[in-house]
Structure 1
Amino acid sequence: MPWILLLFFCLFCAPAQAVTIPGITPAATTSSTPPPEPDAEEKKAAYAALADVLENETSRKELIDQLRAVAATPPEQPVPTVAPVEEADEKTVLENVTDIGRHYGEAFSDRLAQLYRNLIGSPHKPFNPQTFSNAATHFLILAGLVFGFYWLARLCVWPLYRKMGDWGRRKNRDRGSWLHLPLMIISAFIIDLALLAVTLFIGQMLSDRLHAGNKTIAFQQGLFLNAFALIEFFKAILRLIFCPHAPQLRPFAITDGQAKYWALRLSALSSLIGYGLLVAVPIISNQVNVQIGALANVIIMLFITVWALYLIFHNKKTITEHLLALADRSLAFFSLFIRAFALVWHWLACAYFIVLFFFSLFDPGNSLKFMMGATVRSLAIIGIAAFVSGLLSRWLSKTITLSPHVQRNYPELQKRVNGWISVSLKVARILTVCVAILLLLNAWGLFDFWNWLHNGAGEKTVDILIRIALILFFSAIGWTVLASLIENRLVSDVHGRPLPSARARTLLTLFRNALAVIISTITIMTVLSEIGVNIAPLLAGAGALGLAISFGAQTLVKDIITGIFIQFENGMNTGDLVTIGPLTGTVERMSIRSVGVRQDTGAYHIIPWSSITTFANFVRGIGSIVANYDVDRHEDAERAKQALKDAVEELMSMEDIRGLVIGEPTFTGIVGLTNTAFTLRVTFTTQPLKQWTVRFALDSMVKKHFDLAHIRAPVQLYQLLPPEPPQAPAQEPTL
């Protein structure tokens, strides 16, 4: 069964009467003659009693008021006696619960006793059949005319409803025109209410003509019109939800059979409750007998309660399955509420009708009006809250798209703005649910929401929430503006503004992280102070904790200080090729405590700043190549030099290599001589990190030209010694 059926069984606890636990009035005090001079023990006891009085805020205030009254007494009036304030004993929670239970138990037993007296001991009223039949005839004529006119009027507008539904469905197929169908549904409901108002107007005119000046007839017809207005309004809400005769206007996915099933039964149930309690029971009590009226009330409500419980448990499994299926199709936010409701809806529905049964026994007219009014208000609150939450969820799926120019200058601004809007909409959705719950409690008399909102804790809570919202709003605006300005400095623009240096990027990134920590800390502290948390101990504790940490974590402090100085001295930046101790790699990450270096093997090293004593940076200013080439000692030195120069000349003629070399290469000549080779040297000055590219190209050219000039590399000579001749084995002497 569709989940909407549960709205008619969404049962909240019965409206509880406010219970006032009377306060304890201080006992009257009497004056007495001054006692004699107390001894030391009595003085100590008196001081302790006075301290107890002053410690309690209520007793202290009363004592101050008495003292001021004594001080303000004119001389001609007798000075009032200052009496000690007697402290009232505070009741425990168990005692309060017991008192409340006793209060409601006594009230319930009194109501049962009153019902018993109505059934047994009420005075009999003489029954006049002629008066009763005359009043019943006029009553039935009015009821028949009103029902007939209302049925004909609704029959005439059914084709209009179908056309409105077809038009709304056709427009709703376009995703951009989703509002047309809800507009048609609301318009149909307004037309239904207008027909009800016209019918009531005509019914009142007929009543004025049919009662013939008889007060009894007028009274009965007035009861009928009041019940008709209440019950038909509730049925209009049923038609709004189920639409058994105009499926095109049905707002929920319900089959025609299910819609007719529940619309018929809920309409019949509401008619029995309304016309039975608001019309039949008062007429029987007034025209026939009070006992018979009370008995009819009990029979009607017992039948309605049994029938309602049968419907609840007969359809329990089907409705629960539909609720769980709806939860699977819903968003995660709504799915949790729907699943929880699927587990307890039948108990809430049972509680609703059982409470209505007992209340109707004690006060049929007022209890029914209260329950019907609370039900209608609850449906309206749930519907409005669901609509608002649905709109917020729909807006959550949308994003704001900034212009390409703004995205280029502020790359993280769009993501950040959409993030803030998403969080704000989620908070608004949670607040909508909370307000809806409070309004539901208010509708059922369990909580005075409006009094709470305008007085005391409610006003203070709303004030705190508004101030917290303003604090978070301005914090978000401040962080967004400052972070966007920093990110704008980290990018180039379309007008050719170059990227900032690596040092500037590193410092701006560290400043942005520090700014995030500062703004978050200030915001959290301010919010805590707004909700009443004393942040002075937190600040003092943070200072003491920071001092303890500074003594216990000296290495961490040393890391931070060393890292700050290295950053301001522009020692290294992200992307630089550095050598730190035995490690050579590229700087990938720099924080205030450590640096992350990636070797060419792929290994990633995290090096604390304090462990760095010296380091080499290959990206500072220039790169340098010192190329040494060994040539065999027997080769012609001049020919070898010329081959090296030809190799360098061809290398410098390459455009992609020439752009990497700063200035001209330097030929040093022979820089080393051994017994097997001599060494030729040429040096280059290159752009940072380009020295290896130039060196690899140079080696290729030198190999090529040395081969063309037949310049040999040093040859390692080996001397082979002949083996020693074998010696003849020694012979033993013979005799």
Structure 2
Amino acid sequence: MSFARPQWRRAICWSLSLICLLLIPTTQAVTLPQAAVAAQQSSPPASSDSTPTLEEKKAAYAALANILENNDSRQELIDQLRQAASTPSTSAAPVLEPPKATDEDPTVLESVTSVTREYGGEVASQFAQLHNNIANAPHKPFNQQTFFNALKHFVVLAVAVFAFYWLVRRLMSPFWHRMGQWGRDKNRDHNNWLHLPATITLAFIIDLLLLALTLFIGQIISDNYHGDNRTIAYQQGLFLNAFALIEFFKAVLRLIFCPNYPTLRFFHLPDDRARYWNTRLSWLSGIIGYGLLVVVPVVSNQVNMQVAALVNVLVMGIMTVWALWLIFRNKRRIHDALARLADRSLSFFALFIRAYAMVWHWLASAYFIALFLLSIFNPGDSLKFMMSATVRSLAIIGIAALISGMLTRWIGKTLTLSPELRRNYPELQKRVNDWVKALLKLARVITVLATLLLLLNAWNLFDLWHWLTFGTGQKMVDVLIRIVMIVLLSAIGWTLLASLIESRLASDSHGRPMPSARTRTLLTLFRNALAVVISTITIMILLSEVGVNIAPLLAGAGALGLAVSFGSQTLVKDIITGVFIQFENGMNTGDLVTIGTITGTVERMSIRSVGVRQDTGALNIIPWSSITTFANFVRGIGSFVANYDVDRSEDTEKVNATLQAAVQELLENPEIRGMVIGEPSFAGLVGLTNQSFTVRVSFTTQPLKQWSVRFALDDKVKKHFDAAGIKAPHQTVEVMQTGSDVASAASFQALPPGA
């Protein structure tokens, strides 16, 4: 931060003045209030009143905190205060200047060096304090009678507590067996999958209640059996506290491994491996717990600090070595077991299980090494902290696994809407299921992130509550909630609008009328445009929520659109022409059209072009802007005019009667008659040449049926003309004489008849 601005300068001066008033006696010759006045005079006054306002005091406190936080500025402030304190009384009042903070950020190497120096100094000071405690601890004389008297009361209490706890757990054993069998029977039905987790949880609660009952009995024994000796009562209290903590941890181990009740085990694990790990981890926790929480305090109280420290280091050293040996001895076996568990698990959990299988031994080693180091400096509190953090971590992971499992099961399910909704909105069910699954997956991701933050908080590596209530965390959570709400509202809006459009586009398979081709084309274009608009608006709002200034984006988009519009006039023309053709219902998909020299069926239509498939199979892509005129053969009716040429020598009345007879026979066909609209129109003789004359008949038909009727008519006309002996006109050849030689003209061979 920079102190060049007047308000910061004034704030620092006030903070220095307040410190000086508190630290320097009033009888000193050097008057630091005068220094504050001088410093205040060196900057523009904030107001006419000499008393600082509340805001100025707050700014002064904040500035002072920033000074003290930085090592260099703090040292400079200390130097100025010492210099002011050593100033002779006859000299002028000293002026305190705010330390000049450099604008340059420390390099990565400097930051690493600073952090290393800080934590290295703390570790060294801890070892120095430990050595000082051992070397300078007072020696207490050992009283054998007192020691064995306390030992007798201690052993009686311990035996009674362990015996009672073993007895009540033994009595509950048949009940736990029945609970596990009932939960497994219910679990075979996939609809009752919650019964087994509920049974396991209930068994764990009963185990904790038995532990509480045992502690209650132990406290009664301790209150009535300590020989009115405060030291013995204190030692018995140490045992009961250690017993509560350790047995609670063992109960958690029994919840995980269940060595004696396989039906209450969460995951598939052979009974021998469950007993193996439960036994060894129980021994580890018991020896470490009773060693640090009972033996070390008792030895420190009855003997001396030196022996207690040596016992602490000896116990923790042996236990740490044994734990590391167990970890690396079973490294490959546990890795393979976790890999098999991942193969049987859902894909979401398999990813985390495989990742944990790769690093579990390093995490376990770090756990026991950290416990060893912490136990050296603080034997009692370190074990409580480690066990508390461990139990909280296991609880967090268990609850997160349960929530994630429920979300994963819900993701695999499908919501089924009512038949009426599915009939009216064919795509609604699919869209609703897609959005629900997306929300469930998002909730699962949030669960994983929350689990990581809670785990860091459980080990005091991160202050989750402070992060959520102040500063970055609060803003981040607020932004995430807004983003989710915006996306959710956009999804709901798009789903409703798209479902309404698709309801109009639905086929008539359920008895509803088929929408026209024009309606289908326009609604499809409108749906695509709606998707683009909603997506663009949503993205812009999301960018503004995360702090991106969208004003330059909008301005840039406008300028870019203007530049593109000049370079894409043809594209704009295509779009505008296509829109007007669609609104005029000029053509639709499936129509037979002629555009220029191309005749074919409209196969597809986009906002820029139309695709026409010819009878040769060629697909022609025609931009809308290139269409000036076109013919549509399916608009309302179809029609054709049939002209038939006959020889000039034929009788006109006979030809017309024969043509009418052919048409009458054609119309007697019900299939052909259904294609014809109204009655045919006979025009009679409509053309005359030297060799032939032409008769005409015209038909009005259903759209695209004119060719079928024309082909059938030609067949009937030929048969009737042949039966009536009506001949087609004959082609003649006229020979022109080009020379004066008559003999050469006579040399031409006469053509045979009919040639």
TM-score normalised by L of structure 1: 0.84
Q: Distance in 1 between matches of 2:194 and 2:214?
A: 30
Pick from 483, 501, 507 the counterpart of residue 486 of structure 1: 501
Match 2:427 to one of 412, 415, 423: 412
Amino acid at match of 1:429: R
- Report the CA distance between 1:582 and its aligned residue: 3.3
Structure 2 CA distance for partners of 1:481 and 1:87, relative to 1, 3 Å = farther
Deviations 1:705-731 (A, max 9, x none): 456556666677999x99999xxxxxx
Residue of structure 1 in register with 2:143 after alignment: 128
Query: Which one has more relative contact order, counting CA pairs under 8 Å at least 6 apart?
Result: 1
Secondary structure of 2:678 counterpart = strand
Q: Paired residue for 2:362?
A: 347
* Correspondence 1:98-117 to 2 at 5 A: 98-117=113-132
Instruction: Deviation per CA, 1:303-353: give whole Å up to 9, x if none.
Output: 121121122212211222233333334344333333322222221111111
Match of 2:387 in 1: 372
Query: In the superposition, relative to structure 1, how do residues 199 and 534 fare at CA in structure 2: closer, same or farther (>3 Å)?
Result: same
Matched with 2:49 is 72
Which residue in 1 is equivalent to 2:411?
396
Unpaired segments ≥5 residues, structure 2: 1-8, 18-38, 52-92, 735-744, 750-755
2:643 matches 1:666: no
Residue aligned with 1:570, SS: coil
**SS at structure 2 position matched to 1:235:** helix
By how many angstroms is 1:575 displaced?
2.5
Residues 670-713 of structure 1: CA deviation (Å, up to 9, x unaligned) = 44566776554332212222223333433444455456556666
1:126 to 1:466, Cα distance in 2 relative to 1, 3 A: same
Contact 1:26–1:87 under 8 Å retained in 2? no
Residue 89, structure 1, aligned to residue 102, structure 2: yes
Give the Å deviation of 1:614.
2.5
How far apart, CA to CA, are the structure 2 residues paired with 1:573 and 1:191?
Answer: 74
Query: What residue number does 1:21 align with?
Result: none
User: Which aligned pairs between 1:613-632 and structure 2 lie closer than 5 A?
Assistant: 613-631=628-646
Deviates more, 1:142-151 or 1:315-324: 315-324
Structure 2 distance, partners of 1:293, 1:420, is: 63
Larger mean Cα displacement after TM superposition, 158-167 or 477-486: 477-486
Aligned counterpart for 1:146 among listed residues 161, 167, 183: 161
Q: Quote the Cα distance in structure 2 between the aligned partners of 1:279 and 1:341.
A: 35
Q: Distance in 2 between matches of 1:209 and 1:65?
A: 76
Equivalence for 2:34? none
* Alpha-carbon distance between aligned partners in 2 of 1:542 and 1:462, rounded to the nearest angstrom: 31
Aligned pair partner of 2:670 in 655, 659, 674 = 655
Partner of 1:52: none
Partner of 1:688, secondary structure, is coil
| Aligned equivalents of 2:289, 2:611: Cα separation in 1 | 78
- Please list, as runs of the form range in 1=range in 2, the aligned pairs for 1:249-288 lying within 5 A after superposition: 249-288=264-303
Change (3 A) 1:339 1:604: farther
Question: What is aligned with 1:247?
Answer: 262
Equivalent position amino acid for 1:183 in 2: A
1:199 deviation in Å?
Answer: 0.8
CA displacement 1:392-435 (0-9 Å, x = unmatched) = 11111112211222112112211111121111111111111111
Counterpart check, 1:697 vs 2:712: yes
Partner Cα separation in structure 1 for residue 610 and residue 690 of structure 2? 48
- Which range moves more in the overlay, 431-440 or 206-215? 206-215
Change (3 A) 1:648 1:454: same
Match in the other structure for 1:470? 485
**Aligned partners of 1:129 and 1:204: how far apart in 2?**
27
User: Could you report, residue by residue, the CA deviation over 1:130-170 in whole angstroms, capped at 9, with x for unpaired residues?
Assistant: 21111112111111111111111111212111111111111
- Tell me which amino acid in the other structure corresponds to 2:361: H
- Which stretch of the first structure deviates more once superposed, 709-718 or 589-598? 709-718
Distance (whole Å) between structure 1 residues aligned to residue 41 and residue 601 of structure 2: 77
CA distance in 1, matches of 2:515, 2:139: 101
Q: Which residue identity lines up with residue 322 of structure 2 in the other structure? A: W
The count of residues paired between Structure 1 and Structure 2 equals: 667
Question: Does 2:378 correspond to 1:357?
Answer: no
Alpha-carbon shift at residue 195 of structure 1 (Å): 0.8
Structure 2 Cα separation of the partners of residues 291 and 122 of structure 1: 7
Unaligned segments of structure 1, at least 5 residues: 1-23, 32-61, 75-79, 726-735
CA distance in 2, matches of 1:274, 1:435: 31
**Structure 1 residue 295 corresponds to structure 2 residue 272:** no
Q: Which whole-Å CA distance do the structure 1 matches of 2:118 and 2:574 have between them? A: 70
Would the alpha carbon gap of residues 69 and 644 (structure 1) be closer, same or farther in structure 2, given more than 3 Å must change? Answer: same
How far off its partner does 1:452 sit? 0.8
Question: Residue 130 and residue 696 in structure 1: after superposition, are their counterparts in 2 closer, same or farther (change >3 A)?
Answer: farther
Paired with 1:81 and 1:621, the residues of 2 have a C-alpha distance of 105
Deviations 1:55-87 (A, max 9, x none): xxxxxxx9999645343338xxxxx99998654
Deviates more, 1:128-137 or 1:327-336: 327-336
Amino acid across the alignment from 1:549? V
Contact 2:423–2:510 (8 Å) recurs in 1: no
Measured in 1, the distance between the counterparts of 2:42 and 2:509 equals: 77
| Distance in structure 2 (CA, Å) of the matches to 1:687 and 1:601 | 24
Which whole-Å CA distance do the structure 2 matches of 1:122 and 1:476 have between them? 71
1:643 CA displacement: 4.3
State how far apart, in whole Å, the 2-side matches of 1:295 and 1:586 are: 97
Match of 1:552 in 2: 567
Q: Amino acid of the residue matched to residue 421 of structure 2?
A: V
Q: 3-state SS of the aligned residue for 1:445?
A: coil
Cα offset, 1:581, TM superposition: 2.9
Q: CA deviation at 1:271?
A: 1.2
2:336 match: 321
Cα displacement (A) at 1:369: 0.9
Give the Å deviation of 1:583.
Answer: 2.9
Task: Give the Cα separation in 1 of the matches to 2:41 and 2:382.
Answer: 49
Distance 1:495 1:358, change over 3 A: closer
Letter matched to residue 101 of structure 2: A
- Counterparts in 2 of 1:72 and 1:544: CA distance versus 1, 3 Å: farther
Q: Percent identity?
A: 66
Contact 2:13-2:96 within 8 A present in 1 as well? no
Q: Distance in 1 between matches of 2:343 and 2:642?
A: 72
Secondary structure of the equivalent of 1:98?
helix
Provide the C-alpha distance between the structure 1 equivalents of 2:435 and 2:140, rounded to a whole number of angstroms.
Answer: 73
Counterparts of 1:706 and 1:83, CA distance in 2: 127
Equivalent position to 1:428, from 443, 446, 453? 443
| CA distance in 2 between partners of 1:592 and 1:178 (Å) | 53
Match of 1:571 in 2: 586
SS at match of 1:664: coil
Q: Secondary structure at the match of 2:599?
A: strand
Deviates more, 1:458-467 or 1:486-495: 486-495
CA contact (8 A) 2:13 2:40 kept: no
- Secondary structure, in 3 states, of the residue corresponding to 2:636? coil
Note the alpha carbon deviations across 1:613-670, whole angstroms, 9 max, x for none: 3222222221122334455667666555444433332332333332222211223344
- One-letter code aligned to 2:106: T
Change in 2 beyond 3 A, CA 1:490/1:297 = same
> Which residue, 203, 218, 221 being the options, matches 1:188?
203
Alpha-carbon distance change, 625 to 150 in structure 1, aligned in 2, over 3 angstroms: same
Moved more, 561-570 or 263-272: 561-570
Deviating more after overlay: 647-656 vs 247-256 = 647-656
Output the CA distance in 1 between the equivalents of 2:690 and 2:40.
Answer: 115
Question: Partner letter of residue 69 of structure 1?
Answer: A
- Range with greater deviation from structure 2 (369-378 or 342-351): 342-351
1:384 maps to 2:399 = yes
Comparing 610-619 with 454-463, greater Cα deviation is found at: 610-619
Which AA in structure 1 matches 2:476? T
SS at match of 1:586: strand
Question: Residue 245 of structure 1: CA displacement?
Answer: 1.0
Task: Work out the CA distance in 2 between the residues paired with 1:459 and 1:309.
Answer: 41
Alignment match, 1:594:
609
Task: Check if 1:504 corresponds to 2:519.
Answer: yes
Provide the rounded CA distance (Å) in 2 between the counterparts of 1:134 and 1:346. 45
Aligned to 2:753: none
Measure, in 2, the Cα distance between the counterparts of 1:65 and 1:544.
52
Aligned amino acid, residue 151 of structure 1: W
Is the 1:621–1:688 Cα contact (8 Å) retained in structure 2? yes
Provide the rounded CA distance (Å) in 2 between the counterparts of 1:460 and 1:272. 47
Residue 250 of structure 2 aligns to a residue in which SS?
helix
